[in-house]
Amino acid sequence: MRNIKLTIEYDGTGYHGWQIQPNVETIQGTMEGKLAQITGEPVRLVASGRTDTGVHAMGQVAHFKTHSFLDVLTFLKAVNSLLPEDIRVKDVEEVDEAFHARFSAKGRVYEYRIFNGELPSPFHRHFSWFVPGNLDLASMREAGMKLVGRHDFSSFCSAGSDQSCPIREVYAIDVGMREDLIIVQVEANAFLRQMVRNIVGSLVEVGRRKLTPSQFGGILEARDRRRAGLAAPAQGLFLVRVNY
């Protein structure tokens, strides 16, 4: 039995997230079907983590076990020839049997994109959150730095999470500009459900000067989801990289 690691990018606009579900299109379901065609056997694809409906990835990682003898380059070409245009496998690698896309991961990097123009852009509508008006980036950076370290992130975890422990360690957070987008990038050992979207929602309130950085820090310390702002919409979120 071989263990095959995939690095995947996808536009999540047309999918109900990563995880396979009945009667809806998902990234996992689509990919498992194509891989089964190639290998001639059922395939169970395990990802580094689930992405929600409408969320994108530039570096999702998944693995599957197979008896197939196809070499990795053939896998790469074959799966991309079958996948729809909004999903692409960037790399295929045969790895040690012990490798697990989720449990072997040491950290993950997400970024959230905010389009801060005067009018909505048709070119950014599926890949960013339109937030008009001036945002105070310096205050957003100051607030974001309060998240660095090991904390209880209950205030930024959406209801319905199946994760019993809300402790996570944020290694780095940055708020910057890239052309006409504000980019919030967060690197952590792991993330709670909708954690980045909930953080960004409150950071935007800081940028609008409705919260001070100190008040933002108080939200973290409160460990109460009701204290935080609304979650930023899904389409601005990207899984950038998984570190092993």
Rounded to a whole number of angstroms, the CA Rg of the chain reads: 19
Catalytic residue among 11, 52, 86, 91: 52
Q: Return the HEC string of 137-176.
A: HHHHHHHHHHHCEEEECHHHCCCCCCCCCCEEEEEEEEEE
Give the orientation angle of helix 137-144 with respect to helix 195-207, to 10 degrees: 140
DSSP type of residue 35: H
Contact in structure between 158 and 198 (CB atoms under 8 Å): yes
Structure tokens at 170: 């944020």
Total length of the chain:
244
Q: Is 152 in the active site?
A: no
- Give me the phi and psi of 141, to 5 degrees please: -65, -45
With vertex at residue 5, the alpha carbon angle to CA 14 and CA 31, rounded to the nearest 5 degrees, is 30
Contact in structure between 55 and 234 (CB atoms under 8 Å): yes
Give the Cα separation of 48 and 190 in Å (integer).
10
Which residue numbers are catalytic? 52
